[in-house]
Each structure stands twice: as C-alpha cells, then as structure tokens.
Structure 1
Amino acid sequence: MEYLGNILCITGGELIRSEKNPEGVILEGTYKSLVYRGKMRVLRRACYGSPALVEYDSLPRRYREAWEAVHGDPHARRKFAPFAERLHEDVEAYNAFTAYTYDGGRKLPDEAIVSYCNDAMILNAVRETLEVMTAARRSARLSMAGRWEKMLELVDGIRADYPNNLPKTAITLKRKYLRYQAEGYTALIHAGFGNRNRVKVKDQVDQAVLLDILSHGNQLPATVAAETYNLWAGSHQAPTITPRTVLNYMAEHAVEIDDSRRGSKAWADEFDPVVRRRRPTAPLLLVNSDDNDLDLYFKNGRDNYYRFKLYVVLDAHCDYILGYAFGDQVTNELIREAYRNAMRHIRELTGGYYLWHQTVADRWGLKSDNLLGFFESLATFTPPTAGLARAKVIERSFGTEWHNALKHYNNYAGHNITAREKHNSDFAQANLKRRPSIEEAPALIARFIASMRALEWKGSGRSREQVWLDGFRAMEAGRAKRITEEVYLQRFGQRHTYENTVRNTGITVTIGDLRRTYDVPETIYRQAVGRKVRITYDPADLSRVLVEGDRMRFIATENVPLPMALADMQPGDRERLNAVLERKKRLRDQNRQTREERRSLLERVGTDAQSLLQAGVMVKEARFGASEIVNRLALNDDHVDGGSIRRKY
C-alpha cells in the first residue's frame, strides 16, 4: 500500500488473489468487473514499472473487511508512521547477537537473532522518540505523565510488521528499556540462552538441586517441581521460581535430564544421535527379524479377543518379508520356524537355498535358548542397541503401511494402546459374529503376508517381491551364498528327540503322531546298517530327512511302498521294483567280491584263519582276533561245523 498525495491506495497486485499472492481478496475477473462498472476508483492504471493504484476507501465494504481481517486497518497505521520512520537496522546488534555463544559454543537460533535485532531497533526508536517528546513537553511546560503508555501504543502498532519480545504493559516496557540502556544488547537475551544476568537459579548448587528434582523418575510436573525447589530456596536464601521457570529448565536441559526423567528408550528416540545409513545394495546382504503382537482378533473358545505373536524375517534391501511364523508366544522354536519359512520362500523364488551375509535380531533368548549359536551359524550376527527401536529396520515396517494392510480385515484390533489412532470398540463389538476362529488364522495371516509382499516399493511401480527378485538376479555371482539341502537341514532343521537304528527295512521314526520310514542310500548302506543315528527334519517337508551318526551324514528320502498285486501297479512302479531288486543283487555281488579279494590276499601271504586256529601257537590276543574273523565269515553265508569251515556255493 502507498499514498498518492494524501489518498491511501492499494495496488492491484495486492488486491488480486493468485498463486503468487494467495492473500489477495479479489479474483482477477471480479476486479476487472468492479473497475468496468465503476464500483471502485482506479487512480492510476498499470503500466511498465508502475502497478495500478486503487483508492482504498472506494473498495466495496466486503472487500475492505476481508483485507483488514488479514492485514489490519491501514488507516490506523498512518498514525504510527513517524515512529516507524525512526526504525533503522542496528548492524552492531546483529553482530553482537550473531557472535553470542553459550553452553560451550552454542549459537542463538536464527529466529531469535531476528527477534532480538527487532527488539534493539524498536528500543532505539523509543529512545529517540522519548528524547523528542521530553524536549517538546519541557519547552511547553507539560507533564511527563503518560509517556510510557504512549510508547506502548507505538510499539503495539508495529508488532505485526516487526515481531519482537518486548513487554505488553507500560511498566514492564519501561523496565525493559532501562535495563537495555544499562546493560546493552545482552539485556535482551533470554536466560534460556545462557544469559546468567537473567536467571534466578544462578548458583551451581541451586541449579544442581533443581535439575535433580527434574530428573526424578516420577516425572514431576512443573508446579510440583517448583514447589519442591522453593522449599530448598526458602531455607538457603535463594530466589524462588515459578512453574514457567521450571518449564524453561526442562526444555533447556532435556538432553541431560530426560534419560532419568523419561527413561533411556524415550531419551534415545529423541536425543541419541542418528547414524544415517544406506539400504543394502542387493538382497540377502542384511536380514532383520523381530516379533510383533499381530493386531488381529480371533475367537479362541470364549475369548473373542485373542491375538497371536507373529515373528517376521525381513530383507532390508526393500523391506521384503522373507519368512514368518506365529504362535501363542515367542519361543526358540517359533523363531527357528520363521527362519525355516524364510529359506523355503527363498527356494520358491530362486530355485535354491541361499544364506544371507548379516543378521540383525532382537536380543530375546540369545543366552537361555542358545539362539546366539543359531544366528551365528547362518551369518555375521549384529544385535541392535538395547532399547533403541530405530536400530532395527524392521520396526519401521510395523508402521503405517503395515496397519493400512491390516485394516482390510474386520477383526482388525487397531494400533497399540498408546497410539494416537485408537481402536473402535463399538465396531469390534458389532463384528464379533464375523470374527474368524484361530483355525482360520493360518490362511488369513498368509493372505496378509502376501499383501505386504505385493505392496509397491517407494513409487518404483514394482512390488516389493519384484524389486527383490530383480535385485537377486542382478547380484554378482560371488555374493550369492548358495547351500546344499544337507546344509539347510543341518542348520535350520528340527532334531528328533530320540536316536534311531538303521535296519534293513530302513529308518523308521515317529514324527508327531505318524510313523515314517526312510530309505538309506545305496552308497552308505553297508556303513550305516545296524548303527544308531539321529534324525533332523523340516516340519513343513517330511519327504526327506538328514541322518547323522558316527562319522557319517546323509539325506534319506521317504520310502514309498510298492504294491503287492500286479493289478495295483501304477506307471513307474515296475521300474522302481526293478531298481530295488537290482540294488539287492548288487549288495550280494559286493559281498562276494569282497570275500574273494580277501582270500586272494591271504593266499599270497600263505595263511588263513583255519591254519592259524590249528597251529595252536596264537596268544590270547591273536586268538581273539581270529575268532572275530571267523564270526565275520559266518555272517557272510559261511557255516562253521566242528572247528572247520564249510563254504556253501
């Protein structure tokens, strides 16, 4: 706005609302219509370098009121013009406030510097105005009363244009001015910025007492903390303080006291310096796992509000859920099952089992359940900082997108009880009859996990699963850590409780409530038969197991019985039967070949078990050894009769 002569004018650019001027009050079309119909007076048309000037008082009333609601009455500003003309930037004030430091080198924030510079500039204008006013009143022999009320009116008149911290009563404005005159620029700096001339708690002991009160774990409110401190102040001749002062100290020393006041977790979330990190450049470089109280209600008998514990294994490359498991509570076996599920899913996606390079998992059960050894057998294990949620990538995944996906289900339980977004208990009660039972949970949770895997990844136009697959295919060959099925079962499998014996019928083991029989591979049969072994299995795939015994380890596949009746034969059964018969024949042939090779060797050295027995010169140890030889020969279809060996051909 400006004056043309003595007429107050407003420019067309100020009046017209546009993207560049959202505070305008008239649309461009309305503006042109009002000018054309003579509803407002244009004193100067727009030309290059000069905006159009509209007489302010000629504006229709509705537009004047709209303007003044935002910008105030422009006529009222005119009486403050002489005072505003005395406002001049104080360069020395800017230099002083910019150079000011406190608390070991901290600087004033930019907004505080601007405000304090305005304070100094206004108080400088007050000084000049007071000098002129005082001189005029003295020459006219008028009373000096009311000067500060007049100064306050002038200061209030320019507050909108010059934001400041100056008092809003005449007496406090006078005190502020006098302190400024005596102390200079530092008188304007608040005690919260280390200005010791402004604080009431100046003594180090007094401050230690106040901070100790504020550090109390009961999180004393400002009123109680002030009362408690003032008891100390009253007995030690120290100034009392108000709750406002306490709040200032809370804010100023939050970094120091909040660890004790609010707890280490709250302190870490707000004040512990954040280490910004880039996501892994490829899949399977870093996986993170954690448990979550799944926010879905299920029916469990009379309990209509039952919730499962969900354990999730996540690839940090694109927050892709590799595996999961759920149960009544988090246990050692639940965690292992989640990782088994992750490996099975990796095989579904890639066709093979692949290990990752690094694992970040919660510290739960690391010692008591020996999970540390399990994690370290898979990859480099790095537990997150205790109590620091942001140290785990997976925590962010349990946020907005997670709950938006859960909201598709009628049994959604809402955010946790401390969240802003509360659970609608009325809606939950109305949907009790539609609530799924715990028997329906596996399918429902699988559907939820599938929806999370299908979410678009950060505006890429691709699902998280596709991003993961593309990254895996583009990964350098040397970074992929493929493992065999034997290693998979050894590291991820569940070990059977009891030992089993390898017999000529195979390995029969009871898993759950079912007895299953597994075939021993032909290559290991002679070594394994008759031995005690331990079985390790994958609960989700019992078609094969890992067998471990004394100096042997092998994969055994489940036996598929052959039909007795020819009429029951299916395609492929004849081939399997022939293969079994051929295997039996090969075993006998191997035994025969072994015997012949042994006899050939004994003939070359001119001895055999029979001659040694008849010689009668053997010591006890040799006789015992020979007896063992005879016993083994007897097992190989030879017959011992009356001290001589009769071979059956």
Structure 2
Amino acid sequence: MSADRLYKLCQRGRVRRVQTGGNGREALYDVESLPEPIRVQVYQRISDREAEERAAEPLSQLIEIDSAAVRYYSDYEVSPGVHLPNARQQLYAVNCAVLNAIIQLLKQLQSQGKVSLQSFWQQAAESALRLRDVWVNDLPTNPRSLQRKCQLYQSQGYESLIHRGYRNSNARKVDSEEQVSLLLHLLSHYNNLDDTMVARLYNVISDQQSWPQISASTVRSWRIDHQSLIAYGRKGETRYRSEQTMTVRRKRPTSALAMWSMDGWTCELLYQSTNGKRVTTYHNRMTVVVVLDVSCNYPIGYAIGEHESPALIKEALRNALLHTRELTGQMLRTNQLQSDHYAIKTLSPLYAAVAERVTPARVRNAKAKPVEAYFNYLNTTYCQTYSNWAGKGITTRDGKQPNVDALNALRKQFPDRQGIIAQISHIIEQERTLKHAEYMELLEALPAQHRLPLSRESYLLHYGETTQRTLAISPQGVRPTLLGIRREYDTFDRSWREHSSERWLIKYDPDDLSEVLAVNPEGTLRYMLQEKYVQPMALIERTEGDARELERVMTYNKELERDTRQALLDHRTRAAAVINTTQQQLPLEGHEQIKGLLGRLVLVDSKGQHKDERSRELRPDPLEADYTDEPLETLEVETSTQTDTPYDLLW
C-alpha cells in the first residue's frame, strides 16, 4: 500500500491510526480497520513476527526491574521540593532494566568469544523496539545511538537517562537570586497585578540590568509554582491564615456547659426605618450577639441591637445566665468561654464572672470559632426563607444573592425595628425548641465537678443594672427608685450600719427586685440587701407571717442595742484602766477638777431623779469600780489657778 493511499484512508476514517509516528515512534494502525487484502497479508506475516520474538527471548529473560533505580528516580528532585513526574520515573526505571539486560547479554556473548558488535547492536535495537509492548521504553532505535546511550549509562549511571531539560538550567530566563526576588515581589504585590502587567514591569528593570525578557506565560508558570508564597502578599494575612495555614481538627464537647463560643453577627435581614427628616430607608440591618453552646450548637444566650457594643455583649451573657436558670433552676457558669478581642479589657471582668477559663480566639481567625459557622447555618436555614433577606454577604458572587428588582418592589413590606427584633427572636427560639431535648441530655452528662453555680451577688455585681446616683443609709435602710417606684432595702448584717458614712450604688436585676446589691463607689464594700417586709398598721389586717417578720426585726434591734451597749462598756473599762494608770504616773497638784457635769448632762440616779443630784457636789468618776449611789459628804476638790490640761479633760 502506498503512503498516499494509507493517508487518504485515515483521512476518510476508513483506517484508524492508533499512534502517530515521529521522534523515534513508529506509526501504529488498527489491523481490523485495514482493507481486507491488506489485513490478510498482515495475518500471513504473523508467523514471521513470532519467530522474531523468539529470537528476542534471550534479552527478555534477562530483564529485571532495578529497585535501586526505582528509588533513585523517585527521590530525584528537579528543584527543591519538585520531583520527576510519575510517568517519567517509570520510563527511566524500565530503560535502566533494558540497558542492564543488554549489557549482561553482551558480556555473555563476549565470554563465548563469538560476537559481532555491529550485528549485536543491530539486534539489540530491534529487540528493544519489539519489547515496547511489554517493557515500555524510549531507548534509541538506531543501533549506533543505542550503543552510545549504553556507554554513557555505564560511565554516568542513572542520571544519564534523565532528560537534559530536567537537569539543565541554562535556558532559564529567571535564574539569579535578584531576578527571582524581583519577579516574586511583583507577583506578591498587594494590588494583585495580572501576569501581563507583571511581565511588563519586570521587563522595564530587565532592560536596565541586561536580563532576558520574559512573557506573561513565564509569569504564569512562576505564579502557579509559588502560589503559597505569594498568597500572603496578594490576599493578606487573614486570607492566608484561612486558606494556606494548617487547621487543627477538633471534636465537640460531650456535655453541655463545657464550652461557649460568642460573637456578633450583622443579621442578613432588612428592615425599614424613618429618620428625623421623614426619609425612609430599607437597607438597615440589626446586629445579634449569640452565645453558643458548642456541644450541640444550642443558642444559650443572645441579644439584639443596632451594633455590637460592650453593653450588647453584656446583655447576651446575662440572657445566657438567665436561660441556664430556666433550664436547671439555678444560674450556671460555663467551664470555657471563647470570644474575640473586641473591647477585651473592658469585658474581661464579665467574661471571668461567667466562665472558669476565657480563651479568646486569634485575631482575624474566623475558622477557629464555631459560632461563625453557626451564623452561616442560620442565614441559610432561616433567613433565606424570608422576603426581606439581604443575601450572603457583599463578597459572595451574584448567583447566591437575591433579585434586587424584587427587593425594590417589596421594600415597603419590610418590617420595622420592632418587627425585625421579633423576627430574629423567633428564629432563635425556634432553634432552642428544636434542640431542647438534646441539650437537656447533654446537661445530664455534665460531671458534678464541672457544674459551676453563679452566686446571686456575683451576678448582680457584673450583670445587674446600676442606679444613677449614690444613696446614704437611713433608719429605713436605703430607698432607691427602681423602675419608677421608690423601694426600701435593708439587711440583718450587723456591719452594714457601721458604714453609715458611706454612700452606696445599688445594682439590681429588673426581672427580680427582691434582692439588690449595695456597693460603695470604690468597690471595696458589698452588701446583699433584701426588700423590706411591709407590716400593716391595723392589727385586724395582719396576716400569717406578719408577726414572725416583726419579731425578727425586734429581736435584731434588741441584740444590736445590747451588743452596742456592751461594746461601749468594754471600751470604757479599758479606757478607765489607761486613765488610772496615767493618774498614778502624773502629779495632780495644780490641776482643777471638772465641776458641774450634771449641769451639762442629764444623768439620772437609781430612782430616775436628776434635779436633786444636780445640786449636790461632784460625784467620783462613774468608771471606777467602787462607785455607789451614796452621796460623798467629804469630797475635797483642789483648786488651782493653772489652766486645764489634756489630763484634766480625760479626768
């Protein structure tokens, strides 16, 4: 068959070419697609082909894979960290195996003394070609070239088979450290230059430095090969950490209250608002601070406001504590709280009060916070079903955003501020309802040693509302105005009235005003105060419990008066001892005694009389132990012209 006829048959699709020829390859054709006369001739020559294969059997029997060659090509690095392609590794290993067999066969024939090198290399080249169906190789089909290849392999070893394109760097246009640094600097620029612009800017410098010019395709190859390196400059620190750095794999807690994760979210629901100029806007969104128990993604606390602030975060934590009381009957703290670094100095006392350990996430590391993924879940599961849905963020592609024309047509149906708050609250309450049973099981699984109650005092101190002004102690206790009503609070703590000179700030819970916390402005004193029990004036209106509460107050007052009187007498006794000791040590000559004490103080006698005693002479010091009510007829008082001394005042 002529070459022209074969070409035409292939062009018309009547003969199928399996492999094209060129570069050491032979063209291969599907025998079954050839014309019948040609196909018959091919089958007639099969016997001759089998005979040639039998002649090549000595070489095929000697071929064995060289394990050392396999390891060498597997570990070979074209450049630091870049290995040979897998197909090349296999091809070079087979080439080594075939060359080793050829060398071994040549040595066997030379030892027999009967070998023609020209004939040997001719047969070796033909054998290597025929063995390609089983041992895929790319050894030269020319006998002389195969001989040179074998000699080079014997002298240089495995590396001689590696193509010079992998070993030779002379053709590189970007080779020196200065060239590499310049190109990588342009590729990592924060303006995200495209390949054409990078090549243009690089060539401006290369003209001055006499460097070879590069094209955009060269830049593209470098950008692909160094993608991780240039990502830090092109995308920034946050994107680099999110996309390039290693992520720690973590598992969820097996019990509730083990860990809370908290963050703020600008809810993707729009509402309408009218400003002072009577202009209504429809692009407004509320911010939700969610406290998430990550054991089952249960929203244990939340708060809704205009924007994230310390006050909104405080309200969300307060809601979480109150919800734990609803579920368990007492306020419980969490063992670990994960937050961000927003207002961390201001909020640290609040975090420490609600959690045993506070572990802020790394700055701009959103993937470390489970609550971030929870926001996406809320947006997809709930918010997307509302007609006032705003989309999935401004950076999301248009295919995941709502129809702007439809939003404009429906904007007047958007809820107002109160409506959007109700909408968001409904979403959170739905979540709580769906996960309530699972969360109660996780609460049961919480070990007793990790169940951390929160005291009422600590709750009011950190999460209670505070009065605007300070109050002083009065006989009625303290009388703050809470929620527009004047209330009275007091305590049976004896030390409370010892600080009557202090002024107090009152911290209270708007949902429970039965107890408040009194704190001085410096924060050094704290007292829990109870709302005073109201007694009826009329006896006929007294109810059960009134007498008990009245007796409690009367008993307290009696004990307080008795202990106060006793403490005062103890002080007087000790003071008398000091004064008597001083009297014995200092001379009394020239000192006038104090007269007319009863003229200044109304001190009655044992019969309750005062006026009769006032006219009598000055009695001895009542602090003395031998004091009696009998009048002293012979009291002698020394007079002196000298002025009183401090000792006289003590006397």
- For Structure 1 versus Structure 2, the TM-score category normalised by the shorter chain is 0.5 to 0.7
> What is the DSSP-based 3-state SS (H/G/I as helix, E as strand, rest coil) of the residue aligned with 2:210?
coil
Q: 1:496 aligns with which of 447, 461, 467?
A: 467
Output the CA distance in 2 between the equivalents of 1:290 and 1:582: 52
Output the CA distance in 1 between the equivalents of 2:450 and 2:193: 55
Q: 1:382 aligns with which of 359, 371, 375?
A: 359
Tell me the equivalent position of 1:248: 221
Cα offsets for 1:429-482 (capped at 9, x unmatched): 232233211122332222111223345xxxxxxx3x333321221121111111
Tell me the equivalent position of 1:575: 544
Matched AA of 2:319: N
Alignment of 1:5-154 (within 5 A): 76=16, 83=28, 97-101=73-77, 104-105=80-81, 107=83, 112-114=85-87
Output the CA distance in 2 between the equivalents of 1:320 and 1:98: 51
> What is the DSSP-based 3-state SS (H/G/I as helix, E as strand, rest coil) of the residue aligned with 1:209?
helix
Q: How far 1:352 sits from its partner (Å)?
A: 1.2
Unaligned runs of 5+ in 1: 1-72, 126-157, 159-181, 456-462, 612-616, 645-649
Q: How far 1:227 sits from its partner (Å)?
A: 0.9
Matched AA of 1:332: P
Matched AA of 1:314: L
1:410 aligns with 2:387: yes
Contact 2:18 2:29 in 1 (8 A): no
> What is the DSSP-based 3-state SS (H/G/I as helix, E as strand, rest coil) of the residue aligned with 2:480?
strand
Matched AA of 1:434: Q
Cα offsets for 1:251-303 (capped at 9, x unmatched): 22122222122110111111111122222232222222111111111222112
Contact 1:516 1:558 in 2 (8 A): no
User: Whose RCO is larger (CA < 8 A, sep 6+)?
Assistant: 2
Contact 1:518 1:556 in 2 (8 A): no
Q: How far 1:361 sits from its partner (Å)?
A: 1.0
Output the CA distance in 1 between the equivalents of 2:169 and 2:610: 110
Q: 1:482 aligns with which of 448, 453, 474?
A: 453
Matched AA of 2:390: A
Contact 1:318 1:468 in 2 (8 A): yes
> What is the DSSP-based 3-state SS (H/G/I as helix, E as strand, rest coil) of the residue aligned with 1:379?
strand
Matched AA of 1:438: R
Cα offsets for 1:66-107 (capped at 9, x unmatched): xxxxxxx89625687974899x99967965652222554454
Q: How far 1:212 sits from its partner (Å)?
A: 0.9
1:282 aligns with 2:255: yes
Q: 1:217 aligns with which of 175, 182, 190?
A: 190
Output the CA distance in 2 between the equivalents of 1:640 and 1:444: 79
Matched AA of 1:363: H
Contact 2:268 2:379 in 1 (8 A): no
Cα offsets for 1:173-225 (capped at 9, x unmatched): xxxxxxxxx97434565xxxx98466431122111110111121111111100
Matched AA of 1:484: S
What is the TM-score of this pair, normalised by structure 1?
0.63
Q: Percent of aligned pairs with the same residue?
A: 26
Q: 1:319 aligns with which of 288, 297, 305?
A: 297
Tell me the equivalent position of 1:548: 519
Alignment of 1:208-357 (within 5 A): 208-301=181-274, 302-357=280-335
Q: How far 1:340 sits from its partner (Å)?
A: 0.8
Relative to structure 1, the CA distance from residue 584 to residue 325 in structure 2 (aligned partners, 3 Å threshold; closer, same or farther) is same
Matched AA of 1:232: I
Q: 1:436 aligns with which of 390, 415, 418?
A: 415
Cα offsets for 1:561-598 (capped at 9, x unmatched): 6777899x7xxx72354344334433443356447757
Output the CA distance in 1 between the equivalents of 2:556 and 2:301: 44
Cα offsets for 1:136-193 (capped at 9, x unmatched): xxxxxxxxxxxxxxxxxxxxxx9xxxxxxxxxxxxxxxxxxxxxxx97434565xxxx
Tell me the equivalent position of 2:341: 363
1:399 aligns with 2:339: no
1:505 aligns with 2:476: yes
Equivalent pairs, count: 484
Q: 1:590 aligns with which of 553, 559, 562?
A: 559
Relative to structure 1, the CA distance from residue 542 to residue 446 in structure 2 (aligned partners, 3 Å threshold; closer, same or farther) is farther
Matched AA of 1:578: A
Output the CA distance in 1 between the equivalents of 2:269 and 2:564: 69
Contact 2:506 2:516 in 1 (8 A): yes
Relative to structure 1, the CA distance from residue 372 to residue 519 in structure 2 (aligned partners, 3 Å threshold; closer, same or farther) is closer
> What is the DSSP-based 3-state SS (H/G/I as helix, E as strand, rest coil) of the residue aligned with 1:412?
coil
Relative to structure 1, the CA distance from residue 339 to residue 588 in structure 2 (aligned partners, 3 Å threshold; closer, same or farther) is closer
Please identify, of 333-342 and 436-445, the stretch whose mean Cα deviation from structure 2 is larger. Answer: 436-445
Matched AA of 2:254: T
Relative to structure 1, the CA distance from residue 596 to residue 259 in structure 2 (aligned partners, 3 Å threshold; closer, same or farther) is closer
Relative to structure 1, the CA distance from residue 296 to residue 90 in structure 2 (aligned partners, 3 Å threshold; closer, same or farther) is farther
> What is the DSSP-based 3-state SS (H/G/I as helix, E as strand, rest coil) of the residue aligned with 1:358?
strand
Output the CA distance in 2 between the equivalents of 1:216 and 1:412: 37
Relative to structure 1, the CA distance from residue 270 to residue 566 in structure 2 (aligned partners, 3 Å threshold; closer, same or farther) is same
Q: How far 1:559 sits from its partner (Å)?
A: 5.5
Relative to structure 1, the CA distance from residue 216 to residue 79 in structure 2 (aligned partners, 3 Å threshold; closer, same or farther) is closer
Contact 1:94 1:113 in 2 (8 A): no
Contact 2:17 2:27 in 1 (8 A): no
> What is the DSSP-based 3-state SS (H/G/I as helix, E as strand, rest coil) of the residue aligned with 2:16?
helix
Alignment of 1:141-180 (within 5 A): none
Tell me the equivalent position of 2:432: 453
Q: How far 1:362 sits from its partner (Å)?
A: 1.0
Tell me the equivalent position of 1:519: 489
Please identify, of 93-102 and 379-388, the stretch whose mean Cα deviation from structure 2 is larger. Answer: 93-102
> What is the DSSP-based 3-state SS (H/G/I as helix, E as strand, rest coil) of the residue aligned with 1:318?
coil
Q: Name the larger-Rg structure.
A: 2
Cα offsets for 1:111-140 (capped at 9, x unmatched): x42477579999x99xxxxxxxxxxxxxxx
Cα offsets for 1:296-337 (capped at 9, x unmatched): 112221122211111111122222211111211221111111
Output the CA distance in 1 between the equivalents of 2:318 and 2:287: 17
Output the CA distance in 1 between the equivalents of 2:539 and 2:410: 58
Cα offsets for 1:492-544 (capped at 9, x unmatched): 33443422123333432234x62341432334565576752221223454443
Output the CA distance in 1 between the equivalents of 2:388 and 2:612: 83
Relative to structure 1, the CA distance from residue 600 to residue 332 in structure 2 (aligned partners, 3 Å threshold; closer, same or farther) is closer
Matched AA of 1:520: D
Unaligned runs of 5+ in 2: 1-12, 21-25, 31-52, 54-59, 99-132, 134-158, 275-279, 581-587, 615-651
Relative to structure 1, the CA distance from residue 591 to residue 281 in structure 2 (aligned partners, 3 Å threshold; closer, same or farther) is closer
> What is the DSSP-based 3-state SS (H/G/I as helix, E as strand, rest coil) of the residue aligned with 2:296?
coil
Contact 1:90 1:120 in 2 (8 A): no
Output the CA distance in 1 between the equivalents of 2:539 and 2:219: 94
Output the CA distance in 1 between the equivalents of 2:465 and 2:423: 26
Contact 1:366 1:372 in 2 (8 A): yes
> What is the DSSP-based 3-state SS (H/G/I as helix, E as strand, rest coil) of the residue aligned with 1:522?
coil
> What is the DSSP-based 3-state SS (H/G/I as helix, E as strand, rest coil) of the residue aligned with 2:543?
helix
Relative to structure 1, the CA distance from residue 522 to residue 606 in structure 2 (aligned partners, 3 Å threshold; closer, same or farther) is closer
Q: How far 1:229 sits from its partner (Å)?
A: 1.0
CA RMSD, Structure 1 to Structure 2 (Å): 4.9
Tell me the equivalent position of 1:134: none
Alignment of 1:415-426 (within 5 A): 415-420=392-397, 421-426=400-405
